[in-house]
A and B are shown apart, each in its own frame.
Chain A
Amino acid sequence: MSEADTKAASPPEEAKDERVRQISPLRKALVRPELGSICGVILVFVFFFLIARDSGMFSPEGIQNWTVVSAQFAIIAVGACLLMIAGEFDLSVGSMIGFSGIIIAMMSVTYEQPMWLSIIVAFAIAMGIGWLNGFLVIRTGLPSFIVTLAFLYILRGLTIFLARVTTNKTIIGGVRDAAEGDWLAAIFGGKILTGFFQWLADNGLIDKFVAGNRAGEPVVDGVPMLVVWAIGLIIFGHILLTRTRFGNWIFASGGDAQAARYSGVPVNRVKILMFMFTAFCATVFATCQVMEFGSAAADRGVLKEFEAIISVVIGGALLTGGYGSVIGAALGALIFGVVQQGLFFAGVESSLFRVFLGVILLLAVILNTYIRRSITGER
């Protein structure tokens, strides 16, 4: 006891191990997961500024164009990001998008239910499937890759089947009329800040249409709800992950589920909730898209699961879980959107988009890994 007292009283410098390097602020900044995606964003903007400056890509309409596309990616990337940090994947996101869309259109148009009810039902069913995904992963102990791959097929097949038996078609239109005046539909379709953009146009800060039936209206007349959802989800996901106890449990569940369990973290609940959140994000995407197009199609959302995962990985998350950032994933989605639309503005053959995407994915991941290793001295 007396020995312990003298040790505790000794100056703290002595307790420090001289072999231990102090971590410099620069090194700390560099090991952040977002680093690769920040470099990537700068790179793609410089690149497209050089090759597509005169194409209108950076005009108000151009900006709106790639913002909307990036926002679409971001919505599903936030869900995929939290789930990946929790140590799991969801490959059924794309099928879930098609499925939710068809549910909404089928209920509201074919069966003439109120739009708000249709949307709520779609969310409930999708999140129920998310729960089932999580439950099966936890209960069977199978990799989520396999379980959700099964649901990729099950849901896509069901979607086409449902659309066929109820309407004989795989595309259901007329959603816009059904959504007219609906309070819940307004949260997913439409725009905000329209007055502000009108004011900008009135003051000559942005252009107005000069001809056509929209003459006199500003070329960009507001911020689409889709973008609002994306920003909202990014902020929510970021705060949840970095500022709350639950966020800490997400990291712990993905990093080392066993250690987390031993420490009393409700790992199963965390993982299942993240599957449900991913399904929620997919349904937000689906609802916004259905409102925008005025229709639902059974083949919507194909490959979205991979695009979400790619955004997340570009954003610096580890496929093995326990490490990553929502901001990084959002930047990954931005890179994605800018590249896709930038190639279009630059007049590049659109089929090359996927080639670029693959290359960017490789580069970003190599960059992330390389930087992390060179800094931590690992191999």
Chain B
Amino acid sequence: MTATNRDKATAPVLELKSIHKAFGGVVAVEDFSLDLHAGEIVALVGDNGAGKSTLVKMISGVHAPTSGSISLDGEAVSFADASVARAHGIEVVYQDLALADQQPVYMNMFLGRETVRGPLKLLDRKAMMRETQALVDELDVRIPSAKAVIRDLSGGQRQGVAIARATHWAKKLILLDEPTAALGVAETAKVEDIVRTLRARNIAILIISHSLDQVFRLSDRICVLRRGVQIGVRETARTDKNEIVSMITGVG
């Protein structure tokens, strides 16, 4: 199924060419290239500080690459900020979630693209609450209500909200930065189901995870990063954990 999807698509959804990113003297990412196709799940793995989150933030427009090019559907893009990437159908679950703590769940779900109605374009809170409730029910995110304030939620509940937000809006590409790090066993399984559903919707998915089990369960390809350097990309079906581990650690 994956193979056919990939053959159909001519240009990759996302194409990274020789991406380089330095923060002052620290080189976070060095010469990174990757194609991501519609309906494909690519896992990005590497130890802490390898540069995975930095890569995600460059794709989503939070950071600008020092050099290199990012293309969407074959067209070079340069996002001034996160809202531009979002307008292109890119959604992100950030590692630190990026939820507004003092705001209710439904407002976070719609932050930056609130539903409005009437000629005065006033907020349609009822509609947003209704839609949020339907969404969290569908995804089995257990929260007290759509009106609950983020600050009052548990870490896992917050992660659930962030995932619900991203999956709701994703059109083309979704970037998941350790989406299940705070989740229990059942919730993790649920999120993995959701990710597969997204793939069936022909969305391209880049997932970061420290759980190799999860990576092998979900991904079509695995990309390894070590201290900012791209070590290699492997087809999940043609590799094993030993190979990936040695690529991550550089030992063996």
Q: Are B102 and A244 in contact (CB under 8 A)?
A: no
Instruction: Tell me, rounded to whole Å, the shortest Cβ–Cβ distance linking B64 to chain A.
Output: 14
Complex: A256 Cα to B112 Cα, angstroms:
13
Say which one of B12-20, B116-124, B239-247 lies at the interface with A.
Answer: B116-124
Query: What band does the interface of chain B fall in when counting residues whose beta carbon is under 8 Å from A?
Result: 35 or more
Complex: A265 Cα to B113 Cα, angstroms:
9
Residues 213-238 of B at the A interface (beta carbon under 8 Å): none
Instruction: Tell me, rounded to whole Å, the shortest Cβ–Cβ distance linking A244 to chain B.
Output: 6
Complex: A243 Cα to B197 Cα, angstroms:
35
Chain B facing A: main interface SS: loop
Residues 189-210 of B at the A interface (beta carbon under 8 Å): 190, 193-194, 196-197, 200
Complex: A376 Cα to B116 Cα, angstroms:
31
Residue in B94, B111, B143, B193 whose CB lies within 8 Å of A265: B111
Instruction: Tell me, rounded to whole Å, the shortest Cβ–Cβ distance linking A2 to chain B.
Output: 10
Say which one of A16-24, A189-197, A208-216, A329-337 lies at the interface with B.
Answer: A16-24
Q: Are A251 and B103 in contact (CB under 8 A)?
A: yes
Contacts of A322 in B (CB 8 A): 100-103
Residues 102-116 of B at the A interface (beta carbon under 8 Å): 102-103, 107-108, 111-114, 116
Q: Are A261 and B62 in contact (CB under 8 A)?
A: yes
Is A107 an interface residue when CB atoms closer than 8 A count as contact? no
Is A294 an interface residue when CB atoms closer than 8 A count as contact? no
Is B7 an interface residue when CB atoms closer than 8 A count as contact? no
Instruction: Tell me, rounded to whole Å, the shortest Cβ–Cβ distance linking A131 to chain B.
Output: 20
Instruction: Tell me, rounded to whole Å, the shortest Cβ–Cβ distance linking A146 to chain B.
Output: 24
Complex: A99 Cα to B152 Cα, angstroms:
45
Complex: A259 Cα to B94 Cα, angstroms:
9
Say which one of A7-15, A113-121, A169-177, A356-364 lies at the interface with B.
Answer: A7-15
Is A255 an interface residue when CB atoms closer than 8 A count as contact? yes
Instruction: Tell me, rounded to whole Å, the shortest Cβ–Cβ distance linking A322 to chain B.
Output: 5
Contacts of A251 in B (CB 8 A): 100, 102-103, 107
Complex: A245 Cα to B200 Cα, angstroms:
33
Residues 151-197 of A at the B interface (beta carbon under 8 Å): none
Say which one of B21-29, B31-39, B67-75, B81-89 lies at the interface with A.
Answer: B81-89
Instruction: Tell me, rounded to whole Å, the shortest Cβ–Cβ distance linking B115 to chain A.
Output: 9
Contacts of B196 in A (CB 8 A): 1
Instruction: Tell me, rounded to whole Å, the shortest Cβ–Cβ distance linking B202 to chain A.
Output: 15
Is A38 an interface residue when CB atoms closer than 8 A count as contact? no
Q: Are A15 and B121 in contact (CB under 8 A)?
A: no
Evaluate whether A245 and B82 lie within 8 angstroms (CB atoms) in the complex, with A1-B193, A258-B98 already known.
Answer: no
Query: What band does the interface of chain A fall in when counting residues whose beta carbon is under 8 Å from B?
Result: 35 or more
Q: Are A245 and B140 in contact (CB under 8 A)?
A: no
Pick from B107, B108, B116, B137 the residue with the most CB of A within 10 Å: B137
Complex: A261 Cα to B148 Cα, angstroms:
22
Instruction: Tell me, rounded to whole Å, the shortest Cβ–Cβ distance linking B184 to chain A.
Output: 12
Complex: A23 Cα to B152 Cα, angstroms:
12
Complex: A12 Cα to B136 Cα, angstroms:
11
Residue in A7, A17, A266, A323 whose CB lies within 8 Å of B102: A323
Q: Are A259 and B98 in contact (CB under 8 A)?
A: yes
Contacts of B116 in A (CB 8 A): 244-245
Residues 230-274 of A at the B interface (beta carbon under 8 Å): 239, 242-245, 247-249, 251-252, 255-256, 258-266
Is B99 an interface residue when CB atoms closer than 8 A count as contact? yes
Complex: A15 Cα to B92 Cα, angstroms:
25
Complex: A252 Cα to B147 Cα, angstroms:
16
Is A3 an interface residue when CB atoms closer than 8 A count as contact? yes
Q: Are B112 and A263 in contact (CB under 8 A)?
A: yes
Complex: A203 Cα to B142 Cα, angstroms:
64
Residue in B92, B101, B121, B123 whose CB lies within 8 Å of A262: B92
Evaluate whether A262 and B62 lie within 8 angstroms (CB atoms) in the complex, with A245-B116, A255-B101 already known.
Answer: yes
Contacts of A243 in B (CB 8 A): 122-123
Instruction: Tell me, rounded to whole Å, the shortest Cβ–Cβ distance linking A378 to chain B.
Output: 9
Is A4 an interface residue when CB atoms closer than 8 A count as contact? yes
Contacts of B112 in A (CB 8 A): 249, 252, 260, 263-265
Complex: A12 Cα to B137 Cα, angstroms:
7
Contacts of B155 in A (CB 8 A): none
Complex: A23 Cα to B96 Cα, angstroms:
27
Complex: A251 Cα to B100 Cα, angstroms:
9
Q: Are A264 and B142 in contact (CB under 8 A)?
A: no
Q: Are A252 and B144 in contact (CB under 8 A)?
A: no
Complex: A355 Cα to B100 Cα, angstroms:
38
Kindly report which residue of chain A lies nearest to residue B138, judged by CB atoms.
A8
Instruction: Tell me, rounded to whole Å, the shortest Cβ–Cβ distance linking B110 to chain A.
Output: 8
Contacts of B152 in A (CB 8 A): 376
Q: Are B99 and A22 in contact (CB under 8 A)?
A: no
Complex: A259 Cα to B95 Cα, angstroms:
11
Is B145 an interface residue when CB atoms closer than 8 A count as contact? yes
Instruction: Tell me, rounded to whole Å, the shortest Cβ–Cβ distance linking A4 to chain B.
Output: 5
Q: Are A264 and B94 in contact (CB under 8 A)?
A: no
Kindly report which residue of chain B lies nearest to residue A255, judged by CB atoms.
B102
| Top-7 shortest CB links A-B | A264-B83, A262-B98, A264-B112, A20-B144, A263-B111, A255-B102, A259-B98
- Known interface pairs A15-B137, A260-B111, A262-B60; 6 further A-B residue pairs with C-beta atoms within 8 A, sorted by A's residue number: A20-B142, A22-B144, A23-B148, A244-B122, A247-B123, A263-B98
25 contacts between A and B (CB under 8 A): A1-B196, A7-B140, A8-B137, A8-B138, A15-B142, A16-B142, A17-B144, A20-B144, A23-B144, A244-B121, A244-B123, A248-B114, A251-B100, A252-B100, A259-B98, A260-B111, A260-B112, A261-B82, A262-B82, A263-B108, A264-B83, A264-B113, A265-B111, A265-B112, A266-B81
